[in-house]
């Protein structure tokens, strides 16, 4: 079967993988891919709660990069799946530092898309001394406006998707969709939370790509991870003050960054990417992809991400 994305590097298996207990509740799954003497890079997946996939390894030349990927708390192969206790952005940042120390890495390139871009910015602002630069995609600054857009903005572009999402909530609770879904998603009764997490995951998944894609079959891991983590983090404004990430951009503005953004991204609209680039200044390069939505695996976006990692490998900068 031909490769749908031949510009990515060939599929590769991890050199090492394992589980790291980060507290009394959570154990995170990690992978190490590529050249053990290569440029270190940490891959931060989206969601939160979406987990990583084998395709994510393919953004990096394995002869020249040492790639550390992991499933964040509550996601993918990390345990317990969908657990919101002890699950905050500050604890995720601490997990990244544990991994950096585990692998004996001083500084690394930070790569993240969607929620991964949020976490990348938060990590970088907390630990700029350990960052070489940033590759960011589908910028989400986790502001109240962006959260409101995620839930309500779809009505303007995908009214049938929005109507299906809202239909799961009684009319008297629709004034606060986020809280209505949180109540159901966090309910311990599987007959209550499974329909809610399925609806939440489908609501997001159907808006990821610019061009319509077939609906993915239900996935317990993805649906529970995305439904639980996204609603939990959004209900807590990502554990930030509103506007925090943009306000603190000066902490990392001396480092190089490339921002890859789909022009027709209806999940994380381009205004956030533009505001971030403006705040970052000359060291941040914007790559606006004219024929793409939100998906990392859309052709234009994935090609731009590979180009970015190759430019950094060759020059230590982005152009």
Q: Which two tokens stand for residue 255?
A: 């480092």
pLDDT recorded at residue 226: 97
Q: Check 26, 117, 294, 302 and give the catalytic one.
A: 294
60, 120: one domain: yes
In the predicted structure, residue 251 carries a pLDDT above the cut 70: yes
pLDDT recorded at residue 235: 98
- Residue by residue, DSSP assigns 94-157 as HHHHHHHHHTT-S-EEEEEETHHHHHHHHHHHH-GGGEEEEEEES-----HHHHHIIIIIHHHH
The whole-angstrom separation of Cα 112 and Cα 122 is 11
* Domain count along the chain: 2
Query: Residue 9 domain-assigned?
Result: no
> CA angle, corner 155, sides to 233 and 225, nearest 5?
30
79, 56: one domain: yes
pLDDT recorded at residue 216: 80
> pLDDT tens across 290-302, in order?
999 999 999 999 9
Q: Which two tokens stand for residue 88?
A: 């905050």
> pLDDT tens across 137-190, in order?
999 999 999 999 999 999 999 999 999 999 999 999 999 999 999 999 999 999
* % of the chain residues with pLDDT over 90: 94
pLDDT recorded at residue 1: 58
* % of the chain residues with pLDDT over 70: 99
230, 247: one domain: no
Query: Residue 8 domain-assigned?
Result: no
Res. 212 pLDDT band, cuts 50 70 90: confident
> pLDDT tens across 254-291, in order?
999 999 999 999 999 999 999 999 999 999 999 999 99
- Catalytic: 223? no
Q: Check 56, 201, 265, 272 and give the catalytic one.
A: 265
199, 308: one domain: no
Which one of 186, 214, 238 terminates a domain?
238
129, 149: one domain: no
Res. 2 pLDDT band, cuts 50 70 90: low
Query: Residue 6 domain-assigned?
Result: no
Query: Residue 81 domain-assigned?
Result: yes
Which one of 238, 265, 280 terminates a domain?
238
Q: CATH number for the domain including 89?
A: 3.40.50.1820
57, 186: one domain: no
93, 232: one domain: no
Residue labelled with tokens 């990348």: 120
102, 156: one domain: no
pLDDT recorded at residue 10: 96
Q: Check 78, 114, 154, 201 and give the catalytic one.
A: 114
162, 131: one domain: no
The whole-angstrom separation of Cα 12 and Cα 62 is 8
Query: Residue 102 domain-assigned?
Result: yes
Res. 214 pLDDT band, cuts 50 70 90: confident
Res. 215 pLDDT band, cuts 50 70 90: confident
Query: Residue 30 domain-assigned?
Result: yes
pLDDT recorded at residue 201: 96
Query: Residue 35 domain-assigned?
Result: yes
> Quick one: which of 287, 276, 292 has its CA closest to 319?
287
Which one of 214, 238, 262 terminates a domain?
238
> pLDDT tens across 29-57, in order?
999 999 999 999 999 999 999 999 999 99
254, 231: one domain: no
- Catalytic: 294? yes
159, 223: one domain: yes
110, 160: one domain: no
- Residue by residue, DSSP assigns 159-222 as HHHHHHHHTTS-GGGGGGHHHHHHHHHT-S-HHHHHHHHHHHHHHHHTTSSSS--PPPPP-HHH
The whole-angstrom separation of Cα 181 and Cα 238 is 17
The pLDDT of 3-8, averaged and rounded, is 86
The whole-angstrom separation of Cα 110 and Cα 132 is 7
Query: Residue 245 domain-assigned?
Result: yes
Q: Give residue 162's domain range.
A: 144-238
- Catalytic: 242? no
The pLDDT of 198-215, averaged and rounded, is 92
Provide the whole-model pTM.
Answer: 0.97
pLDDT recorded at residue 247: 98
In the predicted structure, residue 99 carries a pLDDT above the cut 80: yes
Res. 317 pLDDT band, cuts 50 70 90: confident
Cα-to-chain-centroid distance, residue 319: 23
């Amino acid at each position: 079967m031909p490769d749908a994305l031949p510009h990515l590097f060939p599929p590769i298996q991890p050199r090492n993988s394992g589980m790291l207990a980060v507290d009394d509740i959570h154990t995170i799954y990690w992978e190490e891919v590529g050249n053990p003497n290569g440029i270190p890079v940490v891959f931060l997946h989206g969601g939160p709660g979406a987990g990583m996939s084998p395709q994510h390894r393919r953004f990096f030349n394995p002869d020249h990069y040492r790639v550390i990927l992991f499933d964040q708390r509550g996601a993918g192969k990390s345990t317990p799946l969908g657990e919101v206790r002890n699950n905050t952005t500050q604890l995720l940042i601490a997990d990244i530092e544990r991994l950096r120390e585990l692998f004996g890495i001083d500084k690394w390139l930070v790569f993240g898309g969607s929620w991964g871009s949020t976490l990348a910015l938060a990590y970088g602002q907390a630990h700029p001394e350990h960052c070489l630069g940033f590759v960011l995609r589908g910028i989400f600054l986790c502001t109240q406006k962006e959260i409101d857009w995620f839930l309500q903005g779809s009505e303007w572009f995908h009214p049938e998707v929005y109507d299906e999402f809202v239909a799961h909530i009684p009319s008297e609770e629709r004034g606060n969709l986020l809280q209505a879904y949180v109540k159901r998603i966090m309910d311990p009764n599987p007959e209550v939370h499974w329909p809610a997490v399925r609806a939440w995951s489908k609501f997001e998944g159907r808006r990821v790509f610019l061009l319509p894609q077939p609906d993915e079959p239900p996935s317990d891991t993805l649906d529970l991870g995305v439904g639980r983590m996204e609603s939990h983090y959004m209900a807590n404004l990502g554990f930030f003050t509103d506007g925090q990430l943009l306000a603190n951009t000066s902490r990392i503005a001396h480092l190089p960054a490339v921002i890859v953004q789909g022009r027709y991204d209806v999940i994380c609209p381009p205004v956030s990417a533009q505001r971030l680039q403006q705040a970052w200044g000359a060291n941040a390069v914007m790559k606006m992809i004219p024929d793409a939505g939100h998906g990392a695996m859309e052709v234009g976006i994935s090609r731009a991400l590979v180009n970015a990692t190759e430019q950094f490998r060759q020059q230590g900068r982005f152009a």
